[in-house]
Structure 1
Amino acid sequence: MVIDKGRMSVADLAKMTGVSEVTIRQDLNLLEKESYLRRTHGFAVPLDSEDVETRMMNNFALKRELASFAASLVLPGETVFIENGSSNALLARTLAEQPDITIITVSSYIAHLLKEMPAEVILLGGIYQKKSESMVGPLTRQYIQQVHFSKAFIGIDGWQAATGFTGRDMMRADVVNAVLEKECEAIALSDSSKFGVTHAYPLGPMTKFSRVITDDGLAAEQQAQLERSGLKVNIVKRP
C-alpha cells in the first residue's frame, strides 16, 4: 500500500487494517529497520519517494539550514534558476520573500508554494512528471535555452569521485544538463547522505559546477576530492 500510494498515514493504515495506531507504529519501525520503507512525521513512505513534501519532512531542520545558507549567496535583483527537490523548495520559499528576486523553476510544486509571495516566479513548461511535480522533456530544454539566470541551484541524488554528480531519473537529469549548458554559476545543494551514492544518469561534467553546499556529515576525504575537482565546498553545521 505504501509503495502503491506514495505515502500512507499511520491513522489510515490503522483504519484499513483494523489495529491500533500503536501497533502500526511498531510495525512500521520494524519495516523501516529491515529497509522496506521509511518513516516520516505520521507517515510511511517508500525508500525512494519522489514526493517533494515527503522528502522535505525528512531532515527538515537540516534542509532549512542548507536553504538559509544558499539564500545568503543570492544578491538583491538577481535572477536564479531553482531546480526540483526538497532543499531547493525551502530555498525558493526563503528567497521569494524578497520582491526584487526573480525565480525560474521547472517545479510546479515550487511555483505553487510561492503563489502568495512577493518574488516574481517563472515556471517553465514541458511534460508534467506527476510524481516529482516537475516539468521535463525536449520542450523544457527549449524553454531553458530561452531564459537567462546568474545562478542555478541543482538537487543531486548521488556523487562519487569516479562518476561525479548523478541523478536517478533520466528525464530530470536531462533538464539539469540543459541548465548546466548555460553560462551561470551552478551550485549543488544537498545533504551529505547523497555523497558516496551512485545513480545511473550523469549530471555534469563536474567542471560545470562551481560550488557544493552540504552539511558536516560529509567525509573529510570526500570534501578533499570535491575541492581537488575545483569546487568550492560550503559546510553547514547540523542543527
Structure 2
Amino acid sequence: MNDRQQHILQYVTDNKRVPVVELADVTGVSVVTVRHDLNYLEQGAYLKREHGFAVVVDNDSVDSRMLSNFPAKKALAEYAASLIDDGETVFIENGSTNAILARVLAKERQVTVITASVHIANLLRDSRCEVILLGGVLQKRSESMVGPLARLALEHVHFAKAFIGIDGFHSETGFTGRDMLRADIVVTALRKCASNYVLTDSSKFGEIHPHALGPLSLVHEVITDSHLPAIYRQQLDTAGLRCTLITAA
C-alpha cells in the first residue's frame, strides 16, 4: 500500500462515505487513478465501494477496526515482522494490528503461523506461510476460535514467539481484554513461555476491561506507538517490561 492509498484509507475512515471525485480532489490525482486505488483497497478488504463512493466497512470486524489509526498500526506491524526470522514458528492472536502483521508476513516471509483467528488464517491463504488454525468454537463476531477445544489445541503446539493484542492496560490491572473466551486463549498462549510481545497502539493504555491477560511477567516486550503517555512508559518500566516505541513514517 503506497502513501496515497494510505491517505485515501484514512480519509474514508474519518468520513465514512466519500465520493470518488472528492478523493481525487484531496489526493490531487485523476478519478481514474483513484478508482485503481479503490480497487486495490477493496480487494484487500480495507473498504468497500458503492456506485461513485468509497465506504468504510460499517461493523465491528477486524477489517473495520484495522482502519482506525492505520499508519501507526502498519508501522508497528512492520517492526514486529522484523523480529521474525524465516523458518520460525510464531503464534499470532486476533486483533487489527496483528491482522496487518499477517499481511506483511504474507508478502515477505516464509514462516509457520499458528493462530486462533480465522481472519488471519484467510489473509495468509495465498502466501508461502504454513498456517495452523486452532480448532474450537467459532466466535462469529471476532472471527476467532475459542473454548476448551481451542485451548487444548494450543497446549499441544509450540512456537518461538507470540504476538498478542490487548484491549486495555492500567497499572492496577495489567493487560486486560473485553472478551472472556478470547482472554482465555491469550493467557494459554502466554503461558507457553515463548518470547511474548504485546502489539498494540497507544490508545488502549489507561482503559480497564473485565478479563486479565495474565501476569505482566509473562510479557517480554511491549510494541506500541510513540504517542504513549510518559506515565505508562514509567509504569511499564517499573514492571520490568521492555517498551519499544515506533513512529509512523
User: Which TM-score band applies after superposition, normalised by the shorter structure?
Assistant: 0.7 to 0.9
Q: How does 1:136-147 map to 2 (within 5 A)?
A: 136-147=146-157
Consecutive aligned runs of 4 or more in structure 1 exceeding 2 Å deviation? 40-46, 96-100
| CA shift digits 1:99-127 (9 cap, x unpaired) | 53111100000111111111111111110
What is the match of residue 162 of structure 1?
172
**Rounded Cα–Cα distance in structure 1 between residues aligned with 2:56 and 2:134:** 31
Aligned equivalent of 1:32: none
- Per the TM alignment, residue 227 of structure 1 is displaced from its structure 2 partner at its CA by 1.4
Matched letter for residue 137 of structure 1: G
Give 5+ residue unaligned stretches, structure 1.
1-8, 12-39
Q: Return the match for 1:42 from 50, 55, 61.
A: 55
Q: Cα distance, 1:43 vs. partner?
A: 3.2
Q: Secondary structure at the match of 1:81?
A: strand
User: Which runs of no fewer than 5 residues in structure 2 stay unpaired?
Assistant: 1-15, 19-46, 48-53
- Kindly provide the amino acid, as one letter, of the partner of residue 42 in structure 1: V
Q: Which residue is 2:234 aligned to?
A: 224
SS in 2 for 1:159: strand
Q: Tell me the percent identity.
A: 50
- Using the alignment, how far apart are the partners of 1:150 and 1:213 within structure 2? 17
Residues in 1 aligned to 2:123 and 2:199: alpha-carbon distance in whole angstroms: 19
CA contact (8 A) 1:158 1:198 kept: yes
The answer to whether 1:201 aligns with 2:214 is no
- Map 1:1-239; keep pairs closer than 5 Å: 10=17, 42-43=55-56, 45=58, 49=60, 51-98=61-108, 100-239=110-249
For residues 51-94 of structure 1, what are the alpha-carbon distances to aligned partners after superposition, in whole Å with 9 as ceiling and x for unaligned?
Answer: 10000111111111110001111122110000000100111121
Q: Are the aligned partners of 2:76 and 2:225 in contact in 1 as well (CA < 8 Å)?
A: yes
Q: How big is the alpha-carbon RMSD for the aligned residues of Structure 1 and Structure 2? A: 1.9
Closer, same or farther: CA 222–142 of 1 in aligned 2, 3 Å: same
Q: Secondary structure at the match of 2:220?
A: strand
SS at match of 2:110: coil
Q: Is the 8 A contact 2:57 2:63 kept in 1?
A: no
With structure 1 as the length reference, what TM-score do the two structures score?
0.80
Figure out how many residues of one structure are paired with residues of the other and give that number: 201
